[in-house]
Amino acid sequence: MLEHTVSTQPIEGQRPGTSGLRAKVKVFQQPHYLENFVQAVFDSIGDISGQTLVLGGDGRFYNREVIQIILKMAAANGFAKVLVGQGGILSTPAASCVIRKYKAFGGLILSASHNPAGPDEDFGIKYNMGNGGPAPEQVTEAIYARTLNISEYKILDCADINLDEKGEFSMGDMQVEVMDAVADYAALMQELFDFDAIRGLFAQDFSFVFDAMHAVTGPYAKVILEGMLGAPKGTVMNGEPKDDFGGGHPDPNLTYAHELVDILYADDAPDFGAASDGDGDRNMILGNHFFVTPSDSLAVMAANATLVPAYSKGIAGVARSMPTSGAVDRVAEALGIDCFETPTGWKFFGNLMDAGKVTLCGEESFGTGSDHVREKDGLWAVLFWLNILAVRQESVEGILADHWATYGRNFYSRHDYEAVDSAAATQVLQNVRDQFDSLKGQTLAGRVVQMCNDFAYTDPIDGSVSENQGVRVLFEDGSRIIFRLSGTGTSGTTIRIYLESYEADTSKHGLDAQTALKDMIDAANSISKLPELTGRDKPTVIT
Q: Is 486 in the site for ligand G1P (CB under 6 A)?
A: yes
Q: Does 466 bind ligand G1P (CB under 6 A)?
A: no
Pairwise CA distance, residues 132 & 90, whole Å: 13
- Residue 142 or 541: which CB sits closer to ligand G1P? 541
Cα 66 from Cα 105, distance rounded (Å)? 20
Q: Which residue is nearest to ligand G1P (CB)?
A: 486
375 binds Zn ion per the rule CB under 5 A: no
CB nearer Zn ion, residue 90 or residue 332: 90
Which is closer to ligand G1P, CB of 77 or CB of 488? 488
Quote the crossing angle between the two packed helices 92-101 and 183-192, to the nearest 10°. 80
Comparing CB distances to ligand G1P, the nearer of 287 and 369 is 369
Residue 414 Cβ vs ligand G1P, minimum distance, rounded to whole Å: 8
- Residue 368 interacts with ligand G1P (CB under 6 A): yes or no: no
Binding to Zn ion, residues 466-505 (CB under 5 A): none
Q: Does 18 interact with ligand G1P (rule: CB under 6 A)?
A: yes
Q: Which of 44, 91, 113, 295 is catalytic?
A: 113
Of 113 and 493, CB closest to Zn ion? 113
The residue among 113 and 321 lying less far from Zn ion, judged by its C-beta, is 113
Determine, following the binding rule CB under 5 A, whether residue 277 of this chain makes contact with Zn ion: yes
The interface partner of residue 534, options being Zn ion, ligand G1P, none and the CB cut-off 5 to 8 Å by kind, is none
CB count within 10 Å of CB 510 equals: 10
Smallest separation (angstroms) from Zn ion to the CB of 279 = 4
Q: How far is CA 418 from CA 1, 30, 90, 445, 485, in A?
A: 47, 26, 29, 25, 10
Please give the distance of CA 351 from its chain centroid, rounded to a whole number. Answer: 17
Q: Residue 279 binds which entry of ligand G1P, Zn ion, none, with Cβ cut-offs from 5 to 8 Å by kind?
A: Zn ion
Q: Which stretch binds ligand G1P (CB under 6 A): 76-84, 168-176, 204-212, 362-370?
A: 362-370
DSSP states of 165-230: S-EEEEETTEEEEEE-SSHHHHHHHHHHS-HHHHHHHHHSS--EEEE-TTSTHHHHHIIIIIIIS-
Work out which of 122, 211, 271, 363 binds ligand G1P, going by CB under 6 A.
Answer: 363
d(CA 456, CA 135): 19
What value does the CA radius of gyration of the chain take, rounded to a whole number of Å? 23
| Residue with nearest beta carbon to Zn ion | 113
When asked if residue 478 is in the footprint of ligand G1P (CB under 6 A), the reply is no
Contact region with ligand G1P (CB under 6 A), list: 70-78, 116-124, 360-368, 395-403: 360-368
CA atoms lying within 13 Å on the CB side of residue 139: 20
DSSP 115-134: S--STTSEEEEEEE-TTSSB
Judge contact between 122 and 116, C-beta under 8 A.
yes
Rounded to 5°, angle at Cα 429 from 427 and 432? 105
In this structure, what DSSP letter does residue 17 have?
B
In this chain, which of 33, 202, 210, 346 binds ligand G1P, going by CB under 6 A?
A: 346
CB of 345 to ligand G1P, least distance (A): 5
Q: Does 283 bind ligand G1P (CB under 6 A)?
A: no
Candidate segments 155-163, 174-182, 281-289, 327-335, binder of Zn ion by CB under 5 A: 281-289
**Interface residues for Zn ion in 92-151 (CB under 5 A)?**
113
What amino acid is encoded at 57 in this protein?
Answer: G
Q: Is 534 helix (H, G, I), strand (E, B) or coil?
A: helix
SS3 at position 335: helix
Active site residue 49: no
Interface residues with Zn ion (CB under 5 A)?
113, 277, 279, 281-282
Catalytic residue numbers? Answer: 113
Binding interface with ligand G1P (CB under 6 A) = 18-19, 113, 321, 344-346, 363, 365, 367, 486-488, 496
